[in-house]
Amino acid sequence: MQFSIITITYNAEKYLRDTLSSVANQNFKDYEHLIWDGGSQDRTFEIIADFPHMKVHEGSDEGIADAMNQGAAKAKGEYLLFLHADDLLAHPGTLALISTSLKQHPEAEWLYGQAHVINSEGEQLRTTRFIPFDHRRLKKYNMITHPATVVSRELFERVGGFQKSLRYCMDYDLWLRLAPLATPFSLPAVIASFREHQNSLSTSEPIAVADEAYRVRNNYVTSPWGRWKSYRTWKKRRAQS
């Protein structure tokens, strides 16, 4: 099959039905949707039961990055899409659009698009800008939205998946490791809706996110000028937090 969509859950009942519905309502059917659950004790499994096509795997993990890696290890699709339990595919034609784009660009081993940013009520706050890929720009800041990205399973496995030691910026670290091996196709279209809410780590702990992004960047930026720009980005992000 073409796509494996991976959703990790842990007491994810609040937004999970909307997330699963956004996948189930796709008009493109060459996909599987996997759940990796780390021990939910709320209504997560009751909600999943309403979606009989779901493939559910349970187990212990060492955090978000490890959970996504364990979900990916169960995947059978050619491309992986990590959709968190509070995010959405943007519209019913999302997977068909991605599939067409990949067929038109067979050299692409990964692809990213734009995302709507929504609040806890599902109201649209803004849309991320379309930014054509530039490796130098990526070393300045993370311009790629996680749920609006698909990566070939082969490429993901080649780099060893997500770094388990990271708590917030495991996606940014992954992009920086993928980029020297394969240039992504940048799709000027909205693929996903990314939800901002107070229980989200990226929203509730912005300073910790900025600090970890700074450390991640400096693993790949070695020149004095590049380190200076990385420092300026860090200072700006902290000031905005």
Arithmetic mean of pLDDT, 113-127: 96
Domain ranges of the chain: 3-197, 205-241
**How confident is the model over 84-106, as pLDDT tens digits?**
999 999 999 999 999 999 999 99
Contacts of 155 (CB under 8 A, 6+ apart): 109, 110, 178, 181, 182
Arithmetic mean of pLDDT, 208-229: 91
> Which class does domain 3-197 fall in?
alpha beta
CA dihedral 72, 107, 98, 69 (to 10 degrees): 10
Output the pTM of the full model: 0.94
Pairwise pLDDT comparison (198 vs 15), residue with the higher score: 15
* pLDDT of 216 strictly over 80: yes
**How confident is the model over 185-206, as pLDDT tens digits?**
999 999 999 999 777 767 778 8
One-character DSSP codes across the chain:
--EEEEEEESS-HHHHHHHHHHHHT-S---EEEEEEES---SSHHHHHTT-TT-EEEE---SSHHHHHHHHHHT--SSEEEE--TT-EESSTTHHHHHHHHHHH-TT-SEEEEEEEEE-TTS-EEEEPPP----HHHHTTS--S-GGGEEEEHHHHHHTTSS-TT-SS-HHHHHHHHHTTT-PPEEEEEEEEEEEP-TTSHHHH-HHHHHHHHHHHHTTT--SHHHHHHHHHHHHHHHHH-
Choice among 21-35, 86-100, 173-187, 210-224 with the minimum mean pLDDT? 210-224
